[in-house]
Structures are given as C-alpha cells and as structure tokens.
A = this chain, B = another copy of it.
C-alpha cells in the first residue's frame, strides 16, 4: 500500500479570498483539510464566510505574507496578480511550498515571456510583437492587419488590460491607457478571426497530469457567459486542444489546475490565447459535470494527492454565469426554477454587493442533448436577477 496520508490540521493557505478560493475550500474541507486566507482590502470577500482563518493585509507586506505562509502547510493562489519574485521570497523565507510554483508564475506573469515560452515549444499562439512606439504599431498593423489587440504584458483579466487598435489613432490611445507611455511593456497581438473560443482545464501534480474535456466558451462583452461541455466540434479537434493544453502545462511545469483558452479558426487551427494558473470560470461545469471537479483536482494537485478522473457524468454540461445587473445589496431573485429543475445546479458565491457584470454565481445544467440543455440553461439563467 502507498504510504500517502493526510494529517489532522493540515492547512492550505489561499492568497486571495474570492469565489475561486471559496469553491476550492469546499473540496479541501471534504478531505478534512483546513483553509486559511490572506486577502487585502476592507470589503468582505466570499472566503470570509466559510473559513475561520482570515488574515487581512497588503500584498506588499512581505513580513505578514511570510508569517501567513508559515502558518500553512501549502500555499496556493486564486489569482495571478502577485509577482513571481515576491512569491519566491515568501516561499524561501517561510519554508512553505507554494503551488503553482513561483517559477511557473515567472513564465506566465509576463505575456511577452509567456508567448515566447509557448512559441519556442512549438505551441501555436497568435502572432505577436513587442510594441515600443508609433512605428511598431504601424508596422504590426500593416503586417498582420487591422484591427489588432494591444495588451499590457501584466495584469490582464477578462478583457481588462486590453485595448483594440482599429487604426493608428485608437492604437496610440490604447497604448497610453495601458501604460505604454509610462514604461509598461505593451504587446500587440493579431486579432484572430475565430469560429469558436475553446478552453481546456488541466490538472497536474508532481507525478500525474490529466485533461478535462475541451469546452466551448461563449463570451458577452469580453466576459465568459456560457460554457458548453464538451465543445460542439469534431472529436479530433477536441483531442487536439487537449493535447496542446497537456503540452503547455508541462512546458511551464505547472502544479495545480490550469485553464488554457484557445481560438478555433475557420481553417481548423487551434491557437492558444490565454493561460490561467488556477481553477477557472470555464471549469465550473465540472463540479457536477465531471467525476472529479476542477476544484477537487486543484486541492489534490497542490496537496500532493493522486488526481481524480475527469470524465463527464452526463453527455452534456452547460454552465451559465450569473452576473450582477446593477449596484445594490445582493439578493438572488427568481432562483426558484433553477432550484426546481432536475439536474440544474445553482451556485451563489456569497458576495454581499452586486454590481453590473460582477460574477455573483453560476448555474450548471446536465443533460443528454446539447441544444435542449443549452436552451434550458439560458432560460433558467436569464430568469435570475442578482
């Protein structure tokens, strides 16, 4: 028998206390694992209501971060906003492992290094160039076509940190807004006319790696609104996306759960667009949809457990984000039908305040037929006002 064991009072620390940490925590709990949270800010976050160990401090407060890490057996992150140098420092001074590792973050925290890393490993990425000035903008537009996308090389998330360059004028405007004039590294990326946006979650531990089904992401105003699992594309294409994701996670030596987002082009090419080193919105469907959810496999991977199978429980899972409609104290209204429908699974994140576009919860519907399940999920999701 393998000697693997879980000790009482094993404590997993989260840097960040949002819904991703919260949904991960439920899975830590079911293994008897305790959670602790380090978060900034004065406003309560979703984790505040599900863990007794909340530390509030600045993400620049190295001493406090090191003390926090010392109080944990393993530390993980629910976002990618911390510098790899800081993470290394925390890990080395506390002696507590951090997964995904700072070395992994180093490869993906800067979009330029990320693109270079993947390109050199022959993973298809969108055409990109480093942009320093007017001339670079013009030559990129001329080479790869207008419009294209300008990205700040750090800090992008759901369309924030991006600007569309329709022409020289809007490009210069975007360059400025993204901090290009004040020394921030700016990247140009060709706009890829895509058929579909795809995503593959991958879980990887020190000894195992496993891909989730290839899903289809339907965006609304740069924010993921709907996930269809599996993607309604040829099985060979699904498999190809999974293979790229498995290769990509190896290249960056990722430990934990990772999201890889792709463009599927009209010509059937699959191009890596974004990498997220954490459980991701495009994997929420896996809570009920798969034998092992992305959150459970994240806990397993960062705590050194064997990984669980990712097979779908039913032929189709559709996840619909529940976004805030307007600024107010949150009330989840008209959730009756979502709760009463067979194999519809409502999740609310416990956020106290709602605002337009804020991710307040999600709804997953399992079914046998893609069209009817999608229709049902959209109908139920559209009813809810948060």
Query: What mask results when residues 26 to 55 of chain A are scored 1 for a CB within 8 Å of chain B, else 0?
Result: 100111111100000000000011111010
Is B4 touching A336 in the complex (CB atoms < 8 A)?
yes
Is B342 touching A309 in the complex (CB atoms < 8 A)?
yes
The answer to whether the Cβ of A161 comes within 8 Å of any Cβ in the partner chain is no
**Stretch in A93-101, A141-149, A249-257, A346-354 with 4+ CB within 8 Å of B:** A346-354
Contact of A8 among B32, B329, B336 (CB under 8 A): B329
Is B383 touching A334 in the complex (CB atoms < 8 A)?
no
Contact of A308 among B48, B339, B347 (CB under 8 A): B339
Contact of A347 among B30, B306, B311, B342 (CB under 8 A): B30
What's the Cα separation between A29 and B346 when bound, in Å? Answer: 11
The answer to whether the Cβ of A122 comes within 8 Å of any Cβ in the partner chain is no
Contact of A339 among B49, B52, B300 (CB under 8 A): B300
Is B8 touching A350 in the complex (CB atoms < 8 A)?
yes
The answer to whether the Cβ of A343 comes within 8 Å of any Cβ in the partner chain is yes
Is B334 touching A1 in the complex (CB atoms < 8 A)?
yes
Q: Could you say which residues of chain B place their CB within 8 Å of the CB of A52?
A: 48-52, 54
The answer to whether the Cβ of A240 comes within 8 Å of any Cβ in the partner chain is no
Give the A interface residue count (CB, 8 A). 57
The answer to whether the Cβ of A330 comes within 8 Å of any Cβ in the partner chain is yes
Q: Could you say which residues of chain B place their CB within 8 Å of the CB of A25?
A: 50
A354 to chain B, nearest CB (A): 8
Q: Could you say which residues of chain B place their CB within 8 Å of the CB of A34?
A: 49, 350
What's the Cα separation between A31 and B345 when bound, in Å? Answer: 10
Further contacts, 8 of them, CB under 8 A, given A8-B331, A8-B353, A52-B52: A5-B335, A8-B330, A26-B26, A31-B347, A32-B348, A34-B49, A34-B350, A308-B342
Could you write out 21 A-B pairs with CB less than 8 Å apart? A1-B336, A1-B337, A5-B334, A6-B332, A6-B348, A8-B350, A8-B351, A22-B29, A25-B50, A26-B26, A30-B346, A31-B347, A31-B348, A32-B330, A49-B51, A51-B52, A52-B54, A291-B343, A305-B339, A306-B336, A308-B339
